[in-house]
Amino acid sequence: MAAPTIEVREVTKSFGTAQVLKGVSLDILAGKINFIIGRSGEGKSVLLKILTGLYRPDSGSVNYGQLNLAKAKTREINKLRRRMGLLFQEGALFDSMTVGENVIFPLWFHNLAKPAEANKKALDILGELGMARYFNLSVALLSTGEKKRVALARALIVDPEVVFFDEPTTGLDPLLGSQVDELIVHAQKVSQATVVVVSHDMAATLSLADRVTLLRLGQVVLSGSPDQFRKSPDREVVNFLSGGELA
């Protein structure tokens, strides 16, 4: 088993009187595709925001090597974010910009490359995704699937150690969903990064994941390989895999 890139230990998070995460512990394995699954309202999105440093846990630890996000200084978290790529559910592209400008934006923002170098890098990544010919086109003219590819190129341009996908197939038809699944695998192969996918799509989870963590009411039900999920006798795991309601 690969050493974990991210170690989450006994993490809790509340908003007012509502406790969303209740002692969550899991390992995000380095260089692997890790899925965090569960129905809406189980704590997946809150956990994602904690993993990316947008929220701090109320208690527990989130360790990237020697750095614990729960206690890290803001400048340390910002530095860590430069090593992350994040593909938002809706892509979060800038419609007023071209494809190339969107992809290059993280390099501009973090002052990581000169213009000529940034342009070349963006063209190379877009080329890997079959989108180089759209470099000067406004993203407003792209299809949903094309926007997903541009958003992925933007996430990969900083050479991230970890790439996060937030519900990447939500609202997509089966064909587009399948294309996004292919992009996830492609992203891991191209970047050799650790991939974390927050999802409720069981078909994608079982076919793509190296490791799966199921959340239920802010707690971990099971964390393991897809094969462990298929063989689990746990009622909540069985119900989730079959599309039934969790008790």
Average pLDDT of the segment spanning 151-169:
86
Which position has the higher pLDDT, 19 or 169? 19
Strand bridging mode 194-199 / 162-166? parallel
Q: Per-residue confidence at 1, pLDDT binned at 50, 70, 90?
A: low
Average pLDDT of the segment spanning 49-63:
95
pLDDT for residue 245: 44
pLDDT for residue 3: 57
pLDDT for residue 244: 46
Q: Per-residue confidence at 4, pLDDT binned at 50, 70, 90?
A: low
Q: Are 153 and 147 in contact (CB under 8 A)?
A: no
Query: What confidence tens digit (pLDDT) does each residue in 88-137 have?
Result: 766 678 888 999 999 999 888 878 888 899 999 999 989 888 889 999 99
Q: Percent of the chain beyond pLDDT 70?
A: 94
* Rounded distance between C-alpha atoms, residue 19 and residue 14, angstroms: 4
Torsion of CA 97, 99, 101, 107, to 10 degrees: 140
Q: What is the pTM of this model?
A: 0.84
Q: What's the mean per-residue pLDDT of the chain?
A: 87
Is 50 exceeded by the pLDDT of residue 246?
Answer: no
Query: What confidence tens digit (pLDDT) does each residue in 201-241 have?
Result: 888 888 899 999 999 999 999 999 999 999 999 988 888 88
* Rounded distance between C-alpha atoms, residue 215 and residue 134, angstroms: 39
Phi/psi for 227 (5° steps) reads -65, -35
